[in-house]
């Protein structure tokens, strides 16, 4: 395991070299520099060389894909029933009709990225359908969606463009599987520089998530950088994301979950935002795990404390609440809050199944509140989660 040290001096880490004969790929993603309280810290789980990246290795590994495929083909539950519901989704159809592909999309006061997000999920759903059935029509549909956006999208704007980028991570997951498992070559790929999907990730999506925000914004940006860096094999980007997750006191895990109690920094705001942030943290930890790193036990299992705290509260049980602990810039959203919020309590996000399955069956750990919540009658995972995260 490599240990990476950020020095006190704020030295921009520029890693893009542009020659006149290359397709312009100016250093729009950089500079990367540490953003945390001390100015210097040992960072765990960094990489030194590009060949240390594992593929496919974002949300799903080869073994994950095989587990799901075997379950469906052998008609084992829960995969059999989940597959029947999954393949009936419009986005899983090889006849899916793409949204309008645009050069500029935005999320914020003016939001035009919904079609982009919908198409990203369709690309991922068709990728999964191809892997399970080996039906070339699904492969062709997924790659055509990715290539269309990859060669067209030039700008991602808006106040919430970072969350918009996060909403497009299904594209990156799909591309990772298609390239690693299907030998897909993206349109515009060239030794002279990418004019396709990779170039779009580097020049359009990554720059929107470099300056890490606070709480949910921050952790969403970190997860986005993790996914993009794996696909691009960008060592500096990955190391930067690891530093921000571990040391950014506003946008990393410490800015999201109280490491002593598990209280979310959004607990006083509403339970929808709480679950959104926890779900992102869970997925970031799953990505790191697929790269051979254990964020689940980072800082004495802070993530587990956060999951248990919010699962307990959303199962209608009582939890302690400290009104002093809130997200950075809570004044922007009417905080800090004097008491824990009832808004959205019991309205459960679909990802809780993934938490239960991983802790119980991979880590072999008991998470009683998560387990109780996932067994409630009002909890129903969507077919994607049940299909892909059951173990």
Q: Tell me, what CATH number does 356's domain have?
A: 1.50.10.100
CA atoms of 182 and 179, how far apart (whole Å): 6
Helix ranges, 134-270 (H): 136-150, 161-167, 169-182, 197-200, 215-232, 235-247
Q: Which two tokens stand for residue 183?
A: 């030998």
Specify whether the CB–CB gap between 256 and 284 falls below 8 A. Answer: no
Whether residue 205 lies inside any domain: the answer is yes
The Cβ-side half-sphere exposure at 232, using a 13 Å CA radius, reads 26
Could you tell me which of 186, 112, 113 has the C-alpha nearest to residue 151?
186
Identify the pLDDT of residue 42. 81
Whether residue 42 lies inside any domain: the answer is no
Domain that holds residue 356: 53-98+112-389
Whether residue 26 lies inside any domain: the answer is no
CA atoms of 109 and 164, how far apart (whole Å): 12
Whether residue 17 lies inside any domain: the answer is no
Three-state secondary-structure class, residue 34: coil
Q: Which two tokens stand for residue 268?
A: 């006083």
Could you tell me which of 348, 354, 240 has the C-alpha nearest to residue 289?
354
Whether residue 181 lies inside any domain: the answer is yes
Phi-psi region of 176 (alpha: psi -120 to 50; beta: other; left: phi over 0): alpha
Whether residue 41 lies inside any domain: the answer is no
Residues in contact with 225: Cβ distance below 8 Å, sequence separation at least 6, in sequence order:
206, 209, 210, 237, 238, 240, 241, 244
User: Which H or E run contains 273?
Assistant: helix 271-290
CA atoms of 14 and 259, how far apart (whole Å): 33
- Which DSSP state fits 335? -
Specify whether the CB–CB gap between 270 and 340 falls below 8 A. Answer: no
Count of structural domains within the chain: 1
Tens digit of each residue's pLDDT, the chain (391 residues): 444 444 333 333 333 323 323 333 334 555 455 434 444 458 999 999 999 999 999 999 999 999 999 999 999 999 999 999 999 999 999 999 999 999 999 998 889 999 999 999 999 999 999 999 999 999 999 999 999 999 999 999 999 999 999 999 999 999 999 999 999 999 999 999 999 999 999 999 999 999 999 999 999 999 999 999 999 999 999 999 999 999 999 999 999 999 999 999 999 999 999 999 999 999 999 999 999 999 999 999 999 999 999 999 999 999 999 999 999 999 999 999 999 999 999 999 999 999 999 999 999 999 999 999 999 988 999 999 999 999 9
Whether residue 142 lies inside any domain: the answer is yes
Question: Between the CA of residue 46 and those of 31, 39, 68, what are the distances in Å?
Answer: 18, 17, 30
Whether residue 47 lies inside any domain: the answer is no
User: Model-level pTM?
Assistant: 0.91
């Amino acid at each position: 395991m490599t240990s990476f040290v950020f020095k006190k001096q704020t030295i921009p880490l520029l890693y893009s070299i542009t020659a006149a004969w290359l397709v312009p790929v100016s250093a729009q993603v950089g500079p990367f520099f540490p953003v945390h309280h001390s100015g210097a810290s040992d960072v765990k789980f960094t990489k030194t060389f590009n060949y240390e990246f594992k593929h496919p290795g974002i949300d799903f590994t080869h073994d994950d894909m095989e587990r799901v495929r075997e379950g469906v083909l052998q008609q084992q539950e829960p995969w059999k029933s989940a597959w029947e519901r999954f393949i009936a989704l419009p986005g899983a159809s090889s006849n899916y009709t793409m949204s309008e592909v645009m050069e500029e999309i935005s999320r914020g006061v003016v939001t035009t990225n919904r079609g982009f997000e919908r198409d990203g999920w369709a690309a991922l759903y068709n990728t999964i359908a191809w892997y399970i059935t080996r039906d070339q029509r699904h492969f062709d549909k997924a790659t055509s969606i990715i290539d269309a956006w990859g060669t067209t999208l030039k700008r991602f704007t808006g106040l919430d463009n970072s969350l918009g980028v996060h909403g497009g991570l299904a594209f990156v997951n799909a591309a990772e599987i298609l390239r690693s498992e299907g030998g897909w070559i993206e349109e515009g790929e060239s030794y002279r520089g990418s004019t396709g999907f990779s170039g779009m990730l580097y020049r359009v999506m990554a720059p929107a998530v470099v300056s890490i925000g606070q709480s949910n914004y921050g952790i969403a940006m970190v997860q986005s950088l993790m996914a993009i860096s794996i696909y691009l094999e960008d060592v500096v980007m990955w190391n930067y994301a690891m530093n921000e997750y571990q040391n950014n006191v506003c946008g990393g895990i410490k800015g999201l979950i109280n490491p002593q109690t598990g209280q979310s920094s959004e607990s006083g705001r509403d339970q929808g935002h709480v679950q959104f942030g926890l779900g992102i943290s869970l997925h970031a930890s799953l990505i790191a795990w697929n790269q051979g790193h254990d964020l689940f036990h980072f800082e004495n299992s802070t993530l587990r404390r956060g999951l248990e705290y919010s699962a307990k509260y959303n199962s209608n049980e009582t939890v302690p609440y400290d009104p002093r602990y809130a997200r950075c810039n809570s004044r922007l959203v009417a905080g800090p809050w004097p008491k824990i919020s009832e808004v959205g309590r019991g309205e459960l996000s679909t990802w809780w199944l993934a938490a239960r399955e991983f802790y119980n069956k991979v880590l072999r750990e008991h998470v009683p509140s998560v387990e109780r919540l996932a067994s409630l009658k009002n909890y129903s995972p969507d077919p994607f989660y049940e299909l892909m995260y059951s173990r």
